[in-house]
Amino acid sequence: MVALVLPAVEALRIGVDERTLADTPVLDPARTVRTDVERVLWADEIPPNVRVSGHVYDVKTGLVTTIVDAKSKK
């Protein structure tokens, strides 16, 4: 299963509009992914048995790099 944060939800969460969010570069994708995985894992809505992993997709090469192997709260 793959879960993605919808841009509209993320923009609302951080208090900006979608266009501003789209124009904001991610300067350190690996760090951002690690932070996001931890945020998802510890969200109250996520059951303890759900496994979450994090990956970075390089749009230039088409390669996907695993940054965080699948893990759960357990």
Quote the pTM value.
0.69
User: What span, in angstroms and rounded, lies between the C-alpha atoms of 65 and 36?
Assistant: 15
Q: Using one digit for the tens of pLDDT, what is the confidence trace for 9-51? A: 677 777 878 788 777 777 888 998 998 899 888 888 889 999 9
Q: Alpha-carbon torsion 42, 45, 50, 51, what sign?
A: negative
The pLDDT value given to residue 1: 44
DSSP, residue by residue, the chain: ------HHHHHHHHT--HHHHHTS--S-HHHHHHHHHHHHHT-TTS-TT--EEEEEE-TTT--EEEEEEEE---
